[in-house]
Every structure is written in C-alpha cells, then in structure tokens.
Structure 1
C-alpha cells in the first residue's frame, strides 16, 4: 500500500503539481464544443434539427482530423501540434457567435462547424499519453500496473466529469446570461489553458527517440479487432451522450424549459465521477472486460427506464443511475486501450477513442434532433437505450475476441 502511494506521489512529482488541474481545465472547451454549438444554433436559428446538424458537422471534423493530429503528435511532439491548433480553434470559436447571429447560410454554418471540430485540441488523449510515458520511465516495473490502472481511473473520471461539467456550464451560461457566452468562454479557455498545457514541461516530447521512430509499430496494428471493439465501445458512449442530452433538451423544450437541459444533464456526473475514481479500488479478479460488461449492462437497464419516463422526477432518477454505469465503463475502455496500444502509437490510440466519443455525441445529437422534430421528444427518449445496447454489444465482441486469442494455438512460440 505504501509502495503504491509512494509511486503515485512520484508520478505527481514528475508531472508537476500544477499539471493535473491544468489538464482538467484545458479539456473543458472540448466538452463544451458540441453542446455549445447545438445550444447557440437552436437559440439563434430556432431549429433543433439545424443545431444537431452543426453538432454532427463538428464531430465529422473531429473524426477527420483527430487521429491525424494524434499521429502528428506521435511523430513531431505534442507541443508543435497543440500550440498552432489551439490558437486556430480559439479563433474559430470566437467567430462562431457572430456568424450564427449574422446572415450566413446554413451551409456556411456547417462548414464553420466542421473547421471547429477539425481544429479541436484533444487534451484528454494527449494527457494520457504523457502520463503513460512518465509511468514507463519513472515508476518501478513491479508498481507500474497498479499506478497505470489508478491513473487511467483518474483520467476517465476527469473525462466523464468534464463531459458532464461542460454541458452543465453551457446550460448555466445560456440560462443566466446568453447562449453565445458559452462559446465565447470556450474560446477564452482554449486560448489560455490549451496553450499553457501545450507549453507545459511534460509536452517536451523528442520525436527522434527510439520509442517514437525506430520501434514504432506499423499503422496497421491500430486496426486489430480487439482494439477496434474498444473504439466501438467508446463510440457507443458518445452516441449515448448525444442522444441523452438532445432528447432531454427536446423533452424539456416542450414545456418551455429547454435551457435547463444542461443543468439536469449534470445529475449524471455525481455517480459517474465517484464510481470512476472508485474503480481503482476494484479487486484485480474483477477484470476490465467484466467491468465493462457489468456497468454497460447497468447503463442499458437505466436507459430503458429513461425511455419510459414521462415526468422530470423519473428522468432525474434514471440519469443518476446512468451516471453510475458510465464512469466505470469509460475507465475500463481507456485502460484496455492503454494495454492494447501498439508501440509508439499511444497518442494515436487515445485520440481514436477521444474522437469516437465526440463523433458519436455529434452524430447522435443530429439524429436525435431529427427524431425530436419529426416524431416527438417522447420517441427520442428511447435512443439512449439503443446507444447503451451498442456499448454492451461491443463489450461482448471484445470478450469473444479475447477468448479466441487465449484459446488459439501459438505455433510461433514453439518454432522460436
């Protein structure tokens, strides 16, 4: 116990005491992006469908550019990538409220949303990559697994908290001041904290080291089925986020309280953050794959309750239980991704997962917005259950792939 605590303190010492709060704040704009775009477009243009399409456009931009930014960071170092990308993204976010409020066409809005998503600095995967590198360099081999699991638990809890706090802030600012303030705030946070994160000493990555060049695994290793099932699972989490927030917005908008969606959405963060952090204390015999399946199934059960809810109280209870399932599920997925990441492809792998969450959230927001407009908010409440079912299906596929690997013969080892 004392050795583990000492190793964790060593990790904090090597990262720097300011690192963790900095990395937390720097990832807030990323979580505010799609929700802020959705809220602002709906408020200014009066269309949930158009708002959802702009969120989806931002997700498409992230899907196209996110893994490329991760690969660039693996090759050239994070600092050289994050500084210019962060400045571009801050500028685009700052311009977005003026474009939405002006006479720009819907097509122009969609194009700008794509650029915002493409330039979004993905701090979470970059942070994981830095911490994994510190653990490999500075923590004794006997303690690495425990420290890595604890670190992934914290990072996933931070992600989950941010993806709840981000929409909460958007809802709070939209309700208390105006919807454009949230996007302007995301721009300011990006300019200050993303730049600070990029220039932090942990961002000094040498692209000429053997780990990043001579020993780098081929890109085709990123397409291994076991890793792709984890990406599919995080995509399902993204689908769930988008479907839940948009359906909740539509349901409350029917009563004239659509701006409160971000506030109620924040209820998920309570159990989610607590159980995500607490998952580091789970016994080792409760494997990562089992945790994914168990807590994913809890998500599915709570999502079914959410789908049948017709009162605000029932929605709040369902959201609270949903949070208890999401946190440990994300921890399990990111921990598995860290284990399965090909050599020298850590930033790319983590960016794939981060992109999957944002893409899923954006696309699901668009689809759910169309369902709200055409079939009604009550019908849209069923979509989070569909997303949760995908999370469970991905868990089953991952477990099946792992079983095949365990049971198949290994003639190569015999020949060696």
Structure 2
C-alpha cells in the first residue's frame, strides 16, 4: 500500500488496524444516497426528471452546508460534528421511503432531499484529514511526500471501490427486493458505522505536526486560484459521475431495465479503483499535474466513445475504459489539494472537494434527466463527454498557473 514499508506500517499502527475497514464501510452510505434517491424516486414516481431533480436537491444541500461542516470540524474537532450530523442524516434517510411512497407534493420531497444532502456525513474528506494529520506527526519530513502520495492513492481507490459497491448494492437490492431497501440500508449503515467512525480515537486528532505549531490560515486563502482549479476539476468529476449514471439509467429504461443501471455503473469502478491504487507506483517525475492531464484526456476520449454507444456491450466496454481515466485523475486532484491546502484548513479543503463531487453529480443528474426526458436517451449519452472536457480544462488551467511541486513550498507537509 505504501512506497516506504516502515513509514506505511507506522501510519497503519498509529491509525489502528481497525481504522481502514471502518472508514471504508462508513463512507458507503454516502455513495448510496445519490443512486438510491434517483432509483427510488424514478421507481415510485415514474419520472427520470424528478429523480434527477431530487439528486440535484441533495447536492444543493451538500453545497450549502458541506464546507461549513468541514470548517466546523477544523474548529471544534470531527467528533463534535460527525456524531449529531450522522444521527440526523440516518433519521432523514429512514423517513425518505415513506415520504416518496406517500402523496407528498414534489416540492416537499425536494426539500427533504436538500436536508438529506445537507446532513450527509462526508467521511472520505474527514478520513483524508485524519491520515494527513498522522503523517505530519509521525513520518519523517523527507518521507512525507511518498507516504502522502500513497495515502491519497489508497483513499481514492477506497472511494472508487465504495462507488462500485454502493451503486451495485442499490441495483441489487432494487432488482431483488425493492428500491426502498437501499435507502433504508444506507440509514442503518450511517447510524452504526458513521457514529463508530466519529468516536474512533483518530477523531481526536487536529491538523498540525510535531515539529511545527498549528496556526490556522485566514479563510481567504481557500480562494487561491491554485486551489480553486482543483475544486473545479473535482466538480467536473462530479458532473461526469452524474451524467454517466443518469444517461445510463435513461438508456436502459427505454428497454425497461433502468433498475440495472447501478450494476452496470459499477463496471466503471473496477479499472478506476485498480489504477487509483496503482498510481502510487508511478515515478516521481510523472508529476501530479501531468497525471491529471494524461488520464483526464483518456477520460475524455473514452467519453466520446461512450457517446456513440448504442448497445449494452459497447456501453460496458466504454465504461471499463472510462474507469481507467477517472481513478488516477481523482488521486492527482486530492494530492494537489493536500499540498495547496491552507494551514489548519485541511478538513475544509477536503470537504470542498468532496462537496464539489456531490454537487457536480447532483446537478448533472438533474440536467441529464431533463435531456433524456426531452430529447431522448441517445442525447443524454453525449453529456459525460462534456463533463470530461471540464475536467481537462480545469487541469490545463491549473498547470498553466502553478509551478511544479519540486519548487513549490510544502506548506503543511514539510515545515519551512
């Protein structure tokens, strides 16, 4: 998992052997919400547009509140934030199937989706923040960059695996039992595992290092262009996820197989997770900026092929190649964010990226749902290519306006 065995073992020892499986399962409900809401609303209300709008509403809630939760975690600690937020989210998820199945007006249904998104515990950014805090404390300065890269690769691979398992579970439960069961399952997982993650001993950690005092940078540093381009890149990734899932759902729904979308969508995650984890072995001279551009371009090329697919086998092949582009791109973006994160703002920064993915996914789900309903499923297949173009454009903007990391000051990883 890590380039430097002793450093990696020290990180695992400090986090605890139970930490990694716990953090993996705790982030699973987050991956199930968007797909579960979309699938349940389409099944119960019969409208891809309404399903997409509810996904967008959840994304709106995340956009409004997610970064604030990250800022609160930076200020008060993760435990004080995650425990109450997780309990609220679990309760709202438990109520959602009853609201959808009833005669609740669409507007109130959208309001509930906003609250679900606003209270969604973003475990992945919180986990990255905890691990970076451990790296600063226990890893020697000259080894930190390698361990950071490996850790970001693992975390991104874990995200990708979650986004395989999450949609797969939603599709499996929707097909074998009923669409409501996926949302109910997400509620139970949130109640048990998010709470356990919040109470894990690593939840006491605060950013800072053993060899440098922790002084929180001004909030205005979060608006630096170098960091905003990374956020824009992850927003493009979110656009891609939402456009791909919704267009795939619309395409399959034409043949009455819309509930299989989660199963096929999981194909994309196989290559994505494998290459995300494997990116830790890339040579240092293959910079994070270059990886973003190379694998983002692969994503764009595969998305163009996806747009021309007119059969399920071709779609599956395109999804497999798309996964090979998405994983390493996400690893690069999170690694860049860790380096450009202002001092003392790690949770806020990581939550900004996590929120950008969810917001992009939700907005693209809504837009793609409208396109599918108004123009047909084949038109919807074009939108992932548009999203991939946003990812590449953000990468170009970042590369054009920042210096290579070999000469970039390591604000948080290597004390000045």
Q: CA deviation at 1:142?
A: 1.5
Whole-angstrom distance in 1 between the partners of 2:294 and 2:104: 47
Whole-angstrom distance in 2 between the partners of 1:38 and 1:298: 28
Number of the residue aligned with 2:414: none
Cα deviations across residues 288-327 of structure 1 (Å, max 9, x unaligned)?
0000000000000000000000111110000000000000
Within the alignment, does 1:102 sit opposite 2:102 as a pair? yes
Number of the residue aligned with 2:294: 294
Number of the residue aligned with 2:84: 84
Q: CA deviation at 1:11?
A: 0.3
- Partner SS for 1:344: coil
Q: CA deviation at 1:166?
A: 1.2
CA RMSD of aligned residues (A): 2.1
Whole-angstrom distance in 2 between the partners of 1:2 and 1:207: 22
Whole-angstrom distance in 2 between the partners of 1:162 and 1:128: 15
Number of the residue aligned with 1:157: 157
Number of the residue aligned with 2:131: 131
Question: Aligned ranges for residues 171-210 of structure 1 at < 5 Å?
Answer: 171-205=171-205
- Change in CA separation of 1:166 and 1:21 when aligned onto 2, cut-off 3 Å: same
Q: CA deviation at 1:164?
A: 2.6
Question: Aligned ranges for residues 201-220 of structure 1 at < 5 Å?
Answer: 201-205=201-205, 215-220=215-220
Question: Aligned ranges for residues 17-96 of structure 1 at < 5 Å?
Answer: 17-96=17-96
Number of the residue aligned with 1:118: 118
**Count of residue pairs brought into register by the alignment:** 408
Q: Is the 8 A contact 1:270 1:323 kept in 2?
A: yes
Number of the residue aligned with 2:410: none
Number of the residue aligned with 2:337: 337
- Partner SS for 2:100: helix
- Change in CA separation of 1:261 and 1:281 when aligned onto 2, cut-off 3 Å: same
Number of the residue aligned with 1:365: 365
- Partner SS for 2:111: helix
- Change in CA separation of 1:178 and 1:213 when aligned onto 2, cut-off 3 Å: farther
Deviates more, 1:277-286 or 1:210-219: 210-219
Number of the residue aligned with 2:237: 237
Deviates more, 1:153-162 or 1:295-304: 153-162
- Runs of 4+ that moved beyond 6 A: 207-214, 404-407
Within the alignment, does 1:141 sit opposite 2:127 as a pair? no
Number of the residue aligned with 1:383: 383
Task: Note the residue ranges of structure 1 that are not aligned, 5 or more in a row.
Answer: 408-416
- Partner SS for 1:266: helix
TM-score w.r.t. length of structure 2: 0.95
Q: CA deviation at 1:404?
A: 10
Question: Aligned ranges for residues 252-331 of structure 1 at < 5 Å?
Answer: 252-331=252-331
Within the alignment, does 1:393 sit opposite 2:364 as a pair? no
Q: CA deviation at 1:205?
A: 3.4
Number of the residue aligned with 2:227: 227
- Change in CA separation of 1:42 and 1:211 when aligned onto 2, cut-off 3 Å: farther
Q: CA deviation at 1:130?
A: 0.3
Q: Is the 8 A contact 1:125 1:354 kept in 2?
A: yes
Q: Is the 8 A contact 2:59 2:360 kept in 1?
A: yes
Cα deviations across residues 122-167 of structure 1 (Å, max 9, x unaligned)?
0000000000000000111121111111000000111122123211
- Partner SS for 1:310: coil
Deviates more, 1:136-145 or 1:347-356: 136-145
Number of the residue aligned with 1:354: 354
- Change in CA separation of 1:404 and 1:295 when aligned onto 2, cut-off 3 Å: closer
Whole-angstrom distance in 2 between the partners of 1:380 and 1:180: 26
